Structure 1
Amino acid sequence: MTGLSAVTFFLLVTINLCHSWTWKCENGLCTRSMAKEQNDVYSTLELCQLMCTNYLNVWPHPTGIVKSWKDLVYIDTRNIVFHFNGTIDSIDFLTELTVYFKDELKREEPIDCDKEVFDMHIYLYPASFDLSLDLETDESYKLNLDFNGDELDVNITAPTVFGLRHGLETLLQLVVPDGYQEKCLATLSNIQISDTPKYKHRGLLLDTARNFLSLDTIKINIDGMAASKMNVLHWHITDSQSFPLMSQRLPNMTKYGAYGPKQIYKPEDIKMLVKYALLRGVRILLEIDGPSHAGVGWQWGSEAGLGDLAVCVNKQPWRSFCIQPPCGQLNPANSNLYRVMNDLFTDIVEMLPNTGMFHMGGDEVFIPCWNSTQEIRDYLKDKPLTSETFYDLWAEHQKKALESFDSAVGHQHSSVVLWTSQLTQPDVIKKYLPKERYIIQTWVPTAQDALIGDLLKLGYRVIVSTKDAWYLDHGFWGTTQYYNWKKVYENKVYDYSHEAVLGGEVCMWGELVDDSNIESRIWPRAAAAAERLWTNPRSSAQYAETRFFAQVARLVKRGINAGPVTPLWCVHNQGECKTYL
């Protein structure tokens, strides 16, 4: 062979083969073929799916009107013009949002399109320019795209700038490559979409205490959330293994609790991530777990003259003192603990905007730890050392922790989220936790568990994290089972029409993940939960399959290492792998 190396020849042949395929829409599915000259044959799978599939291949699929004409228009990405106005802050935000849109569209950058192309004008009309993102933010939007013969006009209207953001995310999915070498970008000549999420809280939990995660890893997961219209990053930032959150008032927390000087989240890191997430429609819900899951990082109290802030820290044999090693629980008998907590909460309030929610953990308190601590036994004095007595102590701690938090915030209006525990059982919760202040995050086996219904009847708001479907760490330890994307998708949240069902979260607990593997453990399965939480579809995963495969490809194109869920052959031959995996 002369002129070309064997490797170069192989690559050229591979490229030519890859671009020889076409797709034809048949019965709502895109089937692959070698034909090029037939009618209704599309040069790329993305183009075929835009023309062929329900909901225009949008993920998550819209909950309202979806109308379109099946005429193609080609756009010139160099001539996309945005139109908007607002306050100084909102103009800055919307300007950054347009940069975000253009940067994402560049991933589809055409090369010398040989078709007639038109300018795109995008008009952004929010009813409010408020930049606060919380549980009550209206994220709905309407998108109208119309080709007038000279240019393509896109009007996105929404009650808030965050609705506009979701509308732009949808628009990104409606612009697809065309041409046998993907030279052009196409969309439809007329599209109407109205869309609003079914649930207010659509979350992903990241755990940075078991294994430290870099800022880049956190950001790439936020990117995946943005692409899937998820809106809450639940950051489980501390646990008994480490305390990586830098507190300016309490430098000993990271001195004693961080894995190392480079495994620390500084205040400026938190503020950067808050801004990064906000532009992507995501708010950060920070969790400082307690009174259990609190060991390393709290052990400096005695040296500082404050007594033991935590007890049972690193105590062995661990099975006698905690659910999971290393052991450690906060010391409710030490009044200095609440002064320290107030300082910690004050630092956190200065790092994070007020979103009206904060997570205090509150699960897996291990009574034998407290019962084995003489200081706590003395604190209880003549009270009988029964389970009820220790529950009362636990509730006393929670009340004082809430007072410390309220003092730091300066008001008593924020809601505190707690995991389900002995204190949240229906027969005792009203005694310990007022429904006006607490949101209960349920980690029961199924989304239809009776506990959820009981909590709703008592007037509590709930967030659902079904552990036997939405715990993404399962299947890699013990006897737990791995849940594929279909299982995640079909995990129906409790009756969405009940206003007290705020939504749900998928959880990536961090014992067996770090920067090297976390993306493929989370994605694309979290995207399956995203459609459940945005749309709550009545249909099964089978009917979402082709759109889901398209969303996986979008995530990968954005630089997210989303793991494969099927052979590529099944993606290219729609409908042929219905029973596969």
Structure 2
Amino acid sequence: MFYKDVYQLTFIILSIYILQSTCLSTEKSIVPGYGKPPGYIGYNPVWTFKCFNNTCKKIPLKTISPATTISKKDDGKGNEKPELMSLNVCKLFCGKNTGVLWPLPTGNIVIKGPAVPIRSDNIEINSVAETTKEFTVETATIFKKLADDFKNSLLKKLPKEGEVRDFHTTLTILAILKDPEHTSLKLETDESYSINLFYDDSTKGVMTHVKADTYFGVRHALETLKQLIVYDEVKGNMVIPQKITITDKPAYPYRGLTLDTSRNFISLNSLKRTLDGMAANKLNMFHWHITDTHSFPFEPPSMPEFARYGAYSRDKIYRASDIREIVEYAKVKGVKVIPEFDAPAHVGEGWQWTYPEMVVCFNKQPWNQYCVEPPCGQLNPTIDMLYSRVLNDLYQDIFDVFDVDTLFHMGGDEVHFQCWNETTDITEWMTKRGWKTNDEGFLQLWNYFQQHALELVMRAAGSKKPNIILWTSKLTTGEALKKYLDKRQYIIQIWTKGNDPNVAELLNNGYRVIFSNYEALYFDCGFGGWVTDGNNWCSPYIPWQTVYMNKPEELAREALLSNFTLATTKQILGQSAALWTEQADDHSIDNRFWPRASALAERTWTNPKTNWADAEYRFLHQRDNLVELGISADSLQPQWCYQHEGDCPIE
């Protein structure tokens, strides 16, 4: 055959090349279950995994005797080969069938094999209301984002080679919702759910019914399903057990992380990764300590001067659009954003544009006489314009931008009376009112500020009437507690040690509490000193085992002894792990929080009676789940231990 010109010949050669490339690509994407599936190391394995005594072990194939060999199958050429088992599939059915679940569900758990292959491009998610209530536009939108997030998360489980797609199994999920209008998370929100999944042989599909009262229950159910879908590197596709029945609900309503973004700025991408990690662990409260003396990165729409003076740079500012983006992102993840504006202490940078005497002791030296770390700074409660011209507008902006409804954090910790006592304008103002310039008088002054600020907060809240969270302090102890703080209004976040006498005082007086006791839940502890040599103030480092064993009810029981009752447990709302960022930023936030915050998640969701050793294998798997999501979770053990469960811990 002759070709008219070189262009025709070139076209034919290119066509043949493209056709061959396409065929090769197609052949690789439809490789049958046994052979060279995408992702399998070396494509010629010499080992497999097997479940022994609820632990997965890596077993060389040549050591498996005929009596213990896993079932055989034909390789397509008339030869019998042992059916291999990947580590993921082993974990799926090993460990009392809970090997991949975190946090462990609190109700009934039934998981049965075999594993059914599913395709990432063949998943249908639909939602309906159980009652006559119809989905609002907001509800429909958030469910659409949830479904997209579920599918996108599954894609992250796949290796770069892709997946085998030589079958047509459909995973169908139907979410049945009792109250579709409940899309704002509250302390009383019902987050429970149930899952009923089965393989329908007639349709060759996997059917899943999810039932929940609220959106948040549905979201948690999908998170559990996501954990039960694993990539099988032997078969080259994702698989799910053919039967799943689970009922589940959290032990505590407040399961949180506290993050400081003032000492070092944290970018939006890092904030979103933190929310991704929270969602993967069913944590639900993101307490955002957004400002402090060090910087004021929040730009209030009515007073942008705060950020102009107080941000580290122009690209380290949270504008209203940024915060709304985070709040909406968090809602899809089942997380509520709780902003904290800490006052009357912990203020400084950003306030330079206001009335000069509004902030006192700013960067006063030697700093250790006026605050706990540099720079110092406290508000002057005696200035009328502080309330009428600044705080009034600031709270209005915060409530609008953060969409605050049920919870707001007013800070209220580490007020140093020495600062106020050395400010002449303040002591003269107090003397004119007959107040003493001692602890009693300065507590009066503190309360004066708190009551005026609370009035403005409630004005900004309108009809919402949020509960106010405060840190433990001198205002939450002794006579000041009962005299100044209404237990119906205030929730106290305990940052001091779990055995602090203030714990018993708060519970005995009927206050609701959140535990953030620093010896177990401050994730900035255990690093080098930054205002001196040696280690930082709260060393040593807190391992995940300590976090896991920090049991709020036990802390309360030890504090109250015989006074502990069933009613006391209802006062304990939960826990929040805190990261203060003196020594953390975008480059380290992931491994400061994760996977230790996962230990907090199981403690607050499941509140198991067992100890950390019983959870270790699942915990290591959850760490890998976080890495799959793109979170740089810290490594805990050599990978050898992960592949040889039970062979590393000391008995």
TM-score tier, shorter chain, comes to over 0.9
Measured in 1, the distance between the counterparts of 2:39 and 2:323 equals 48
Aligned counterpart for 2:517 among listed residues 450, 457, 466: 466
CA deviations 1:111-146 (Å, max 9, x no partner) are: 453875521110011111121112221111101111
Q: Which letter does structure 2 place at the counterpart of 1:264?
A: I
Measured in 1, the distance between the counterparts of 2:505 and 2:39 equals 63
Q: What displacement does 1:43 show? A: 2.4
Q: Which moved more, 1:510-519 or 1:426-435?
A: 426-435
Measured in 1, the distance between the counterparts of 2:593 and 2:99 equals 25
Q: What displacement does 1:179 show? A: 3.8
Measured in 2, the distance between the counterparts of 1:115 and 1:178 equals 15
Which residue of structure 1 aligns with residue 31 of structure 2?
Answer: none
CA deviations 1:202-226 (Å, max 9, x no partner) are: 1011110000111111111111101
Q: Does 1:360 align with 2:425?
A: no
**Matched residue of 1:163: which SS?**
helix
Aligned counterpart for 1:248 among listed residues 301, 304, 309: 301
CA deviations 1:48-77 (Å, max 9, x no partner) are: 011112325210000000012232211122
**Matched residue of 2:607: which SS?**
coil
- Tell me if structure 2 keeps the 8 A contact 1:321–1:368: yes
Q: Does 1:536 align with 2:579?
A: no
Q: What displacement does 1:432 show? A: 1.0
- Tell me if structure 1 keeps the 8 A contact 2:324–2:402: yes
Which residue of structure 1 aligns with residue 358 of structure 2?
Answer: 309
Q: Which letter does structure 2 place at the counterpart of 1:317?
A: P
CA deviations 1:252-287 (Å, max 9, x no partner) are: 211221111111100000000001010000110101
CA deviations 1:138-172 (Å, max 9, x no partner) are: 11110111112121101111010111000000000
Counterparts of 1:448-487 in structure 2, within 5 Å, are: 449-476=500-527, 477=529, 478-479=536-537, 480-487=539-546
Q: Does 1:152 align with 2:241?
A: no
Which residue of structure 2 aligns with residue 400 of structure 1?
Answer: 452
Q: Does 1:219 align with 2:283?
A: no
Aligned counterpart for 1:26 among listed residues 52, 71, 75: 52
Which residue of structure 2 aligns with residue 488 of structure 1?
Answer: 547
Aligned counterpart for 2:346 among listed residues 278, 283, 293: 293
Q: Does 1:170 align with 2:212?
A: no
Q: What displacement does 1:79 show? A: 1.6
- Tell me if structure 1 keeps the 8 A contact 2:119–2:165: no
- Tell me if structure 1 keeps the 8 A contact 2:412–2:473: yes
Q: What displacement does 1:371 show? A: 0.3
- Tell me if structure 2 keeps the 8 A contact 1:299–1:308: no
- Tell me if structure 1 keeps the 8 A contact 2:405–2:464: no
Q: Which letter does structure 2 place at the counterpart of 1:153?
A: M
- Tell me if structure 2 keeps the 8 A contact 1:28–1:53: yes
Which residue of structure 1 aligns with residue 489 of structure 2?
Answer: 437
**Matched residue of 2:399: which SS?**
helix
Q: Does 1:515 align with 2:586?
A: yes
Q: Which moved more, 1:423-432 or 1:274-283?
A: 423-432
Structure 2: which 5+ runs fail to align? 1-37, 72-82, 129-134, 530-535, 557-565
Aligned counterpart for 1:380 among listed residues 422, 430, 433: 430
Which residue of structure 2 aligns with residue 133 of structure 1?
Answer: 185
Q: What displacement does 1:426 show? A: 4.2
Distance 1:17 1:363, change over 3 A: farther
- Tell me if structure 2 keeps the 8 A contact 1:416–1:437: yes
Calculate the TM-score normalised by the size of structure 1: 0.93
Q: Which letter does structure 1 place at the counterpart of 2:602?
A: E
Q: Which moved more, 1:350-359 or 1:24-33?
A: 350-359
Q: Which letter does structure 2 place at the counterpart of 1:251?
A: P
**Matched residue of 1:404: which SS?**
helix
Which residue of structure 2 aligns with residue 257 of structure 1?
Answer: 310
Aligned residues: percent identity? Answer: 40
**Matched residue of 1:290: which SS?**
coil
- Tell me if structure 2 keeps the 8 A contact 1:56–1:174: no
**Matched residue of 2:440: which SS?**
helix
Q: Does 1:91 align with 2:137?
A: no
**Matched residue of 2:169: which SS?**
strand
Q: Which moved more, 1:363-372 or 1:61-70?
A: 61-70
CA deviations 1:376-412 (Å, max 9, x no partner) are: 0111014321110001111111111101111111247
- Tell me if structure 2 keeps the 8 A contact 1:74–1:117: no
Distance 1:275 1:287, change over 3 A: same
Which residue of structure 1 aligns with residue 385 of structure 2?
Answer: 336
Structure 1: which 5+ runs fail to align? 1-11
Which residue of structure 1 aligns with residue 110 of structure 2?
Answer: 67
**Matched residue of 2:259: which SS?**
strand
Q: Does 1:568 align with 2:639?
A: yes
Measured in 2, the distance between the counterparts of 1:173 and 1:297 equals 44
Measured in 2, the distance between the counterparts of 1:412 and 1:308 equals 33
CA deviations 1:538-565 (Å, max 9, x no partner) are: 1111100110000000000100000101
The Cα RMSD (Å) is 2.0
Which residue of structure 1 aligns with residue 155 of structure 2?
Answer: 106
Q: Which letter does structure 1 place at the counterpart of 2:443?
A: Y
